């Protein structure tokens, strides 16, 4: 998934993400297995969410920070029978494993990179639950919850920000799983389809919109942060920002006129002043315009504010 230009790649897949259900190839996502008696305690001390309160079948979304409070990676953390599983972006799997491993000293924790053996497949769209039920899969009720489907795991997690699930299965099962999903009514959607849909929903992606220079409050993804969980790496910065009640810039959603998506880094202007820059954008067939995410300096985010990107009007959308 790149950071510039483009739009929906396959009409049927894009439509399915809007109107029915589509399956997404997420096999490049990183999968890190953590075992050992101290696994929950260690991960709890290293991420922004409350891992120690998780019980089998529960899960959470979390950031992993450095000591300066910058985001090194994000992950969906699933509590499964006998281990924790970290599902993360393809670009961050090795970095995240090495980061956590560096802090294992006398802890009873073993990390295993299962990216090659454990393959993720997404099922997303308004009818995703119906499709999975037809295929015979269990449906976790809570966000980031999981349920066993034989040797597979179904998690309630989405890459597009819409209703969706993630199925984790052995690499050898991938073709059979896809056949089952298509038999139940899921349509294949391309990475461009998924990217366009996530931008329409304003869902950021690490590597495209969240970086190792970003602090949690700038992302507005505060469901990743538990403010009463106790100490964790990078907490001091997060708490300082919260106590001050101010952040310099915020990730924001835009609708931009025209069909051509601006590149990552395109300047967001408020009059003749530079207000921020675009992180990712794509033309949205359903909006008839470009949908985009970008960081805007906090002083420019106010009712009635007007913006321009590449000479085109840019409307700040709700939640952004």
From 77-91, 210-224, 301-315, the region with the lowest mean pLDDT: 301-315
Instruction: Report the half-sphere exposure of 10 (CA within 13 A, side-chain side).
Output: 13
Structural domains present in the chain? 11-200 (3.30.1360.120), 248-320 (2.40.30.110)
3-state secondary structure of 228: coil
Q: What pLDDT, on the 0 to 100 scale, is given for residue 303?
A: 80
pLDDT band at 1 (very low <50, low <70, confident <90, very high): very low
- Region 63-78: mean pLDDT is 98
**For residue 215, with 0-12 CB atoms within 10 Å meaning exposed, 13-18 middle and 19 or more buried, which class applies?**
buried
Q: What is the rounded distance in angstroms from the CA atom of residue 280 to the CA atom of residue 235?
A: 28
What does the DSSP 8-state code read for residue 262?
P
Q: What pLDDT, on the 0 to 100 scale, is given for residue 21?
A: 98
Mean pLDDT taken over the chain:
95
- Region 123-152: mean pLDDT is 98
Q: What is the rounded distance in angstroms from the CA atom of residue 92 to the CA atom of residue 198?
A: 19
Give residue-wise pLDDT tens across range 20-43: 999 999 999 999 999 999 999 999
- Region 129-147: mean pLDDT is 98
Give residue-wise pLDDT tens across range 166-185: 999 999 999 999 999 999 99
pLDDT band at 5 (very low <50, low <70, confident <90, very high): very low
- Region 244-257: mean pLDDT is 94
- DSSP string over 175-225: HHHHHHHHHTT-EE--HHHHHHHHHHTT---BTTTB-TT--HHHHT-GGG-
270's enclosing H/E stretch is strand 267-270
């Amino acid at each position: 998934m790149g950071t510039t230009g483009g739009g929906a790649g396959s009409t049927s897949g894009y439509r399915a993400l809007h109107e029915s259900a589509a399956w997404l190839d997420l096999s490049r996502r990183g999968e890190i297995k953590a075992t050992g008696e101290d696994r929950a305690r260690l991960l709890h001390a290293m991420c922004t969410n409350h891992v120690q309160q998780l019980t089998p079948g529960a899960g959470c979304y979390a950031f992993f920070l450095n000591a300066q409070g910058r985001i090194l990676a994000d992950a969906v953390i699933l509590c499964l029978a006998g281990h924790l599983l970290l599902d993360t972006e393809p670009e961050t799997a090795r970095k995240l494993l090495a980061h956590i491993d560096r802090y294992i000293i006398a802890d009873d924790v073993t990390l295993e990179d299962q990216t090659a053996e454990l393959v993720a497949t997404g099922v997303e769209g308004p009818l995703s639950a119906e499709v999975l039920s037809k295929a015979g899969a269990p449906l976790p009720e809570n966000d980031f919850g999981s349920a066993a489907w034989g040797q597979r795991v179904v998690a309630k997690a989405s890459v597009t920000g819409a209703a969706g699930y993630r199925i984790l299965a052995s690499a050898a099962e991938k073709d059979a799983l896809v056949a089952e999903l298509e038999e139940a009514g899921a349509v294949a959607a391309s990475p461009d389809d998924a990217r366009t849909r996530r931008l329409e929903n304003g869902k950021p992606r690490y590597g495209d919109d969240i970086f190792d220079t970003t602090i949690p409050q700038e992302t507005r993804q505060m469901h990743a942060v538990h403010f009463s969980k106790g100490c964790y790496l990078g907490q001091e910065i997060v708490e300082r920002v919260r106590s001050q009640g101010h952040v310099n810039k915020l990730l924001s959603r835009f609708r931009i006129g025209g069909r051509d998506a601006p590149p990552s880094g395109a300047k967001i202007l408020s009059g003749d002043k530079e207000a921020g820059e675009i992180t990712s954008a794509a033309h949205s067939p359903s909006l008839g315009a470009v949908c985009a995410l970008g960081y805007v300096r906090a002083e420019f985010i106010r009712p009635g504010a007007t913006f321009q990107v590449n000479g085109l009007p840019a409307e700040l959308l709700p939640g952004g």
